[in-house]
Amino acid sequence: MQSTRKRLGAALGIPSFALGARSAQAELGVNFPPPAAGVAQEIYDIHMLTMSIATVLLVIIFAVVGYSLYHHRKSRGYQADQHFHESWFGNWSWVIVPVLVLGVDLTIASSAQRTLEKVWEVPKGEDLLDVKVIGHQWWWEYQYLDHTIEIDGAPRTVRVESRATTPEEAGRNYLRDVDNPLVLPVGQKIRFLHTSADVLHAFWVPELAVKKDAIPGYVTETWVDLNREGTFRGQCAELCGTWHSRMPIVVESVSGDRFEQWIAEQKELMLASAAEAASGRDWTMEELMERGQGLYNVKCGSCHQVTGQGLPPAFPALAGSPIAVGPIQAHLDIVLNGKPGTAMVAWSTLTDLELAAIITYERNAWGNDTGDLVQPSDIKAARSLVLR
Ligand SMILES: [Cu+2]
């Protein structure tokens, strides 16, 4: 399946390696990356103001120090002025200089205060786009709360799962590239609702100037008003475990029209996969193995590895694992319910078809030649067993 990012790049006529190359070069700069949102621009401006004042002060102070060291050196027999404090300037300089510095401080502080208020005061209103940003070990989930479709009479939010791509796919953007980016429109205020499904993470994209902790059990807000199109890269900014480095963030900032089009495409994809899952037919071994491999590599491969060898002792191998080649019921149980207290979470949010494909794959890949075929109907049965 082609990633959303690649599809989007193709639609915009931009080859993804070109997007990548540009941002890789930008990293060689010494300053912050150019802001892509109104609030980010204000923060950038304060940074520039502060840095220019600091630079001017630095030059003046070092010039005076340098001059004094050179001209008043001992070998010249320089005598210290013992009457400095008797002059008008000698008396008042220790008042005037701090007052001047304080004035500069107040100028910086008041403009920083105005911007901080803007950062904290999340705008309310009709045209606000709500995006719930959920940190997981180790991937991001983005839910577009204002965009839902109905499947089997129940509303389903348009959502995107975003995971780091493999080194081969990422190329120069190794650990900075994802399969599905966070697509956002220019010219609309966007509110992020941050939370986490497991441990502390932090959402951070420098061009948007947003950095916010994702705390399990809490929902916190930030907002942005994007003002230009482009690809902006960030990452999880809170140590969140073994693969903390492998949860990059890619924001694809697009025009409002393009965004609407993208949302419509996502809805179609969701409807198509729901229809497929609801068809109730039996699937062949080949079909399930193919789907299973794709899903396994993306969702389970980060821990159990695409080779099925795991990373013992943290993540057990599934090749030859007593559960993956043992009774099917125990296999269904650990995947549906997870194992409390470990990194193995419950995967019951996946569809019956997805789980059937993954489990069939695990039972037949890497030399696990059980020959077992798990159908979506088996998953459905196992779920109702769990509910009792
Ligand atoms: Cu994280």
Domain endpoint, select from 120, 143, 164: 120
Cα 220 to middle of ligand 1, angstroms? 16
Query: What's the predicted TM-score (pTM) here?
Result: 0.75
The reply to whether 293 and 267 lie within a common domain is: no
Cα 187 to middle of ligand 1, angstroms? 29
Cα 25 to middle of ligand 1, angstroms? 25
Q: Which residues contact 382 (CB under 8 A, 6 or more apart)?
A: 329, 332, 333, 336
The reply to whether 50 and 66 lie within a common domain is: yes
Average model confidence (pLDDT) for the chain?
A: 87
SS3 content of the chain, % helix, strand, coil (to 5): 50, 20, 30
CATH code where residue 198 lies:
2.60.40.420
pLDDT value for 324: 93
Sheet containing strand 189-196, edge to edge, reads 154-162, 139-151, 129-136, 189-196, 220-225
Cα 239 to middle of ligand 1, angstroms? 6
The reply to whether 169 and 260 lie within a common domain is: yes
- 179 falls within a domain: yes
The CA-atom distances, in angstroms, between 385 and each of 170, 184, 317, 337, 345 are: 42, 41, 27, 12, 18
pLDDT value for 9: 46
CATH code where residue 300 lies:
1.10.760.10
Cα 178 to middle of ligand 1, angstroms? 14
pLDDT digits (tens, 9 = 90+) for 268-284: 998 888 888 777 788 89
- 31 falls within a domain: no
Number of structural domains found in the chain: 3
Cα 144 to middle of ligand 1, angstroms? 20
The reply to whether 148 and 292 lie within a common domain is: no
The reply to whether 221 and 370 lie within a common domain is: no
Cα 45 to middle of ligand 1, angstroms? 29
Cα 206 to middle of ligand 1, angstroms? 16
- 25 falls within a domain: no
Parts of the chain with a pLDDT under 50:
1-11, 13-24, 388
Q: List the domain range (segments joined by +) for residue 174.
A: 4-16+125-273
- 306 falls within a domain: yes
The reply to whether 111 and 154 lie within a common domain is: no
